[in-house]
Amino acid sequence: MKSVQKGFTLIELMIVVAIIGILAAVAIPAYQDYIARAQMTEAMNLASGLKTNVTSVFGQSGTCPANATASDGISAEADINGNYVAKVTTGGTAAASGGCTIVATMKTTGVSTGISGKTLQLKLSNADKGSNVWTCTSNADQKYLPKACTSGT
């Protein structure tokens, strides 16, 4: 009687391991970028939450509120934080067109290395023309920024 061999050869197993290694080499960096983008989204959400308060103060007094300490109904900068955001600071130099800023600063530990200590800034403009436009900029790479913020380095 002839016996039939069952199982995989060593070469077949090595090919499968090589394919899995190639897939992992591509997938892991893409996943790390995805995680960093999700962490920067927290900064965008916290900063965006202050747009109404800053706009209200600017509209009433023509000044930009600074929240180094709690003022104008805005919590102190150190009190506005999250899992990945160290603080959110309001300020800027008031002008007829706006000029107020909201800056979210990322933590230096516990975040992705590409965004550690980076900032995301929202700046008010166009207020003198009847509508408020908030422009988003950041010193982080564009690949880490949410789609709503398109002005990275």
Task: Answer yes or no: is 139 within a domain.
Answer: yes
The total number of structural domains that make up the chain: 1
Q: Where would I find the beta strands (DSSP E) of the chain?
A: 85-95, 98-106, 119-125, 133-138
Q: What is the 3-state secondary structure (H, E, C) of 91-108?
A: EEEEECCEEEEEEEEECC
CB neighbour list of residue 59: distance below 8 Å, 6 or more residues apart: 127
pLDDT of the residue at 151: 65
Residue 2 lies inside a defined structural domain of this protein: no
- Look up the domain containing 101 and give its range: 11-144
The per-residue pLDDT for 152 is 55
1, part of any domain: no
Please give the pLDDT value at position 17: 96
Q: How far apart are CA 61 and CA 73, in angstroms?
A: 13
Q: Is residue 45 part of a domain?
A: yes
Q: Tell me if 150 is assigned to some domain.
A: no
Residue 152 belongs to some domain of the structure: no
What's 87's DSSP letter? E
pTM, two decimals, is 0.81
Q: Is 104 a domain residue?
A: yes
CATH of the domain at 137: 3.30.700.10
pLDDT of the chain, 153 residues: tens digit per residue: 677 777 888 999 999 999 999 999 989 888 999 999 999 999 999 999 999 999 988 888 888 998 877 777 888 888 999 999 999 999 999 888 889 999 999 999 999 999 999 999 999 998 888 888 999 999 999 999 998 887 655
* 3 located within any domain: no
Q: How far apart are CA 94 and CA 150, in angstroms?
A: 24
What is the structure's pLDDT at 127? 86
